[in-house]
Amino acid sequence: MAEAPRRSKGRILVVDDEATLARAYARTLSAAGYEVEMAEDGNAALVIFRKGGISAVLTDITMPGMDGLALLGQIRQADADVPVVLATGGPTVESAIQALDQGALKYLVKPIDAESLLEVMEQAAQLSKMAEMRRLAAKLAGDVNARLGDRKVLEDAFDRAIHELFMVYQPIVRWSDKSVYSYEALVRSRESALPHPGALFEAAEKLMRTDDLGRAIRSIAPAPFAHEHLLFLNLHPTDLSDESLYDRSSPLCAIADRVVLEITERASLDAVPEARARIAKLRELGFRIAVDDLGAGYAGLTSFALLEPEVAKLDMTIVRDVHRIGTKQKLVHSMAELCKDMGILLIAEGVETDEEREALVDLGCDLLQGYLFARPGPAFPAISWGQAPPA
């Protein structure tokens, strides 16, 4: 019986202008079960890469024409996921930093022994398979981000989404007197490829364009608030580093005294330079600060020390079924008492049933938000004070 052909472990593109070295890499990788394509410079490599099917790239940095770092940049424009390993005989701090900034998997220094080469390329091939399976699973599940590896497609969809942004608003009510306390602005887009906020923000983070998205949101969210109502608006942590947030001539700053900026507790503020000073500057402009997602956060209650918020929003995971679960009731009561002692307004978000509302009010929460009262809609949706509206 004829021996079955060995299954390829993946296609590796080897790029090096030293032909002897490139052939040595190719022999080692071929013997280990990989298919190997070779190119002598970045331009030739890019032609091969664009034909598709490459699992990982091993490229020298210093080459005539397009060098390895430029090749990495071109590859990243086409595919955000394919692993790229850079090799060099003359390592520098600058090239290492640039390699990592552009998403290189590894930065190897020549000469590279066979064992190290195989170890790194095995990792690269496995990551490539994982990325492909993730895209396939997302596609089968109908995930709109199933093609995140195709950077150009994602960029085009994101550009369209930015032009098709609009805001919806959900009321925050004061139960004790059945009044509207404020409205939260929530972003939406008519772009079908990125139809919900999660997809939109994931794309922005993938493309490192959260500043573009934040600026677009802040430019349109204040429009209905010319003369009345308090506006709640979410900030992405990176927004704090965007100088346009502090522009006194912006539409948002124009109504700063009626704006509460929500900063999620799900993300760390450690990466924000001079975070405390930036928060202070926002207060000087007239903004108030809210901690969002309280109780489901990145670092527990430590955000209070940095933000010193005027408002805290109780995460909906704690609100859900609060009338049934004793531990949640104790937690809500403790948080309500703590916020009262600290002079902080507490809002319970995600309220969906009369039973949840009744339990929250009994536990000390007077400010409430959720589908029970209104679903997000154009400025401004009608409010129901009774049973939850139908889905």
Q: Domain of 75: which CATH number?
A: 3.40.50.2300
Instruction: Give the model's confidence band at 148: pLDDT under 50 very low, under 70 low, under 90 confident, else very high.
Output: very low
Residues 265 and 309 reside in one and the same domain: yes
Which of 83-97, 359-373, 377-391 has the least mean pLDDT?
Answer: 377-391
Average pLDDT of the residues of the chain: 84
Same domain, 165 and 277: yes
DSSP 325: -
The answer as to whether 325 is a domain residue is: yes
Inside any domain, residue 4 = no
Residue 264 or 312, more confident:
312
CATH number at residue 230: 3.20.20.450
With cut-offs at 50, 70 and 90, classify the pLDDT of residue 134.
Answer: low
320 in the same domain as 203: yes
Residues 133 and 177 in one domain: no
- Write down the pLDDT at residue 196: 84
Model pLDDT, residue 299: 39
Q: Which residues contact 255 (CB under 8 A, 6 or more apart)?
A: 222, 225, 226, 231
Q: Burial of 171 by CB count in 10 Å (0-12 exposed, 13-18 middle, 19+ buried)?
A: buried
Least confident of 116-120, 268-272, 296-300: 296-300
Nearest by Cα to 153 from 207, 103, 212: 207
Residues 131 and 156 reside in one and the same domain: no
Q: Are residues 100 and 232 in the same domain?
A: no
- Secondary structure of residue 36 in the 3-state scheme: strand
Q: List pLDDT tens digits, range 185-244.
A: 999 999 888 878 888 888 888 888 889 999 999 999 999 886 678 999 999 888 898 999
> Do both 134 and 58 map to the same domain?
yes
| Same domain for 156 and 133 | no
Predicted confidence (pLDDT) at residue 46 exceeds the cutoff of 70: yes
Residue 270 is predicted with a pLDDT of 66
Which amino acid type is present at position 85? V
375 part of a folded domain: no
pLDDT at 304: 65
CA dihedral over 145, 147, 148, 154, signed as positive or negative: negative
Q: Look at phi and psi of residue 165 and say left if phi exceeds 0, alpha if psi is from -120 to 50, else beta.
A: beta
What is the pTM (predicted TM-score) of this model? 0.63
What would the two tokens of residue 131 be? 């990325």
Same domain for 122 and 239: no
- Domain boundary residue among 140, 170, 198? 140
* Overall number of domains in the chain: 2
Do residue 199 and residue 343 come from a single domain?
A: yes
Q: Which strands make up the sheet holding 56-60, listed edge to edge?
A: 35-39, 11-15, 56-60, 84-88, 106-109
Asked whether residue 121 falls in the same domain as residue 162, the answer is no
53 is a domain residue: yes
Question: Could you tell me the two tokens for 188?
Answer: 């939406």
Return the minimum-mean-pLDDT range out of 54-63, 69-78, 161-170: 69-78
Residue type, 151: R
Q: For residue 360, tell me if it sits in a domain.
A: yes
pLDDT score at 359: 95
State the chain's maximal CA–CA distance in angstroms: 85
Residues 207 and 317 in one domain: yes
Which distant-in-sequence residues (6+ apart) come within 8 Å of 201 by Cβ?
210, 213, 236
Domain that holds residue 166: 151-369
